[in-house]
């Protein structure tokens, strides 16, 4: 009987993950492609009085009203570019709008083994990888900004689950 060192389901091919890379305030960031709901031109946000950290506005798209997560504010950055974009984050409790730089996001496929656990204690940061010439932090859009006790099973490193 032949033995396989890693069980019957192991594959010789390396597992890869698709990431969307975008920028906020000139800083490159990435997110799992399955957590990105789309990219639109940014439309004017309507301030909403709020005590929730980094959620204090909504944007409207037709009849839909999406809360805005101020990722730039969280990172202490300013969105740059004359025509910022709106990245839709597919958070577990509903989509959110995130204002990002005018640079068009790009799709990248990387090996999961290339994703490192981040050193930062930021609970939204789930991994770090190298894309091009530099390191890019990977953010969890599924749990972005959620209180730690509400993160549930969605929390984990970017390389923690397959199927990206």
Q: 93-122: which residues touch another protein (CB under 8 A)? A: 93-94, 96
> Does 55 engage in binding with another protein (CB under 8 A)?
yes
Burial class (CB in 10 A: 0-12, 13-18, 19+), 51: exposed
Q: Tokens 């960031």 correspond to what residue? A: 29
Contact residue for another protein among 17, 23, 36, 69 (CB under 8 A)? 69
> Does 63 engage in binding with another protein (CB under 8 A)?
yes
Question: Which residues, at least 6 apart from 4, have a Cβ–Cβ distance to it below 8 Å?
Answer: 10
Contact 114, 156 (CB under 8 A): no
Contact residue for another protein among 5, 7, 41, 49 (CB under 8 A)? 49
> Does 50 engage in binding with another protein (CB under 8 A)?
yes
> Does 44 engage in binding with another protein (CB under 8 A)?
yes
User: Which range touches another protein (CB under 8 A), out of 26-34, 52-60, 114-122, 131-139?
Assistant: 52-60
Closest Cα partner for 29 from 68, 77, 95?
A: 77
Contact residue for another protein among 5, 51, 82, 163 (CB under 8 A)? 51
Burial class (CB in 10 A: 0-12, 13-18, 19+), 124: buried
Which residues in this chain contact another protein in the complex, by CB under 8 A?
44, 46-52, 55, 58, 60, 63, 65-67, 69, 91, 93-94, 96, 145, 147
């Amino acid at each position: 009987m032949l033995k396989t060192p890693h069980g019957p389901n192991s594959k010789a091919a390396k597992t890869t993950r698709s990431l969307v890379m975008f920028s906020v305030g000139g800083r490159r960031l990435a997110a799992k492609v399955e957590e990105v709901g789309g990219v639109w031109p940014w439309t004017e946000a309507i301030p909403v009085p709020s005590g929730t950290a980094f959620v204090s506005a909504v944007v409207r798209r037709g009849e839909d009203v999406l809360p805005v997560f101020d990722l730039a504010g969280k990172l202490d950055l300013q969105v740059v570019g004359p025509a910022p974009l709106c990245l839709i984050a597919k958070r577990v409790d509903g989509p959110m709008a995130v204002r990002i730089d005018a640079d068009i996001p790009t799709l990248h496929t990387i090996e999961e083994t290339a994703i490192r656990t981040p050193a930062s204690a930021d609970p939204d940061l789930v991994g770090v990888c190298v894309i091009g010439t530099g390191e890019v932090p990977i953010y969890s859009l599924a749990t972005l900004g959620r209180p730690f006790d509400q993160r549930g099973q969605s929390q984990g490193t970017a390389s923690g689950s397959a199927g990206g």
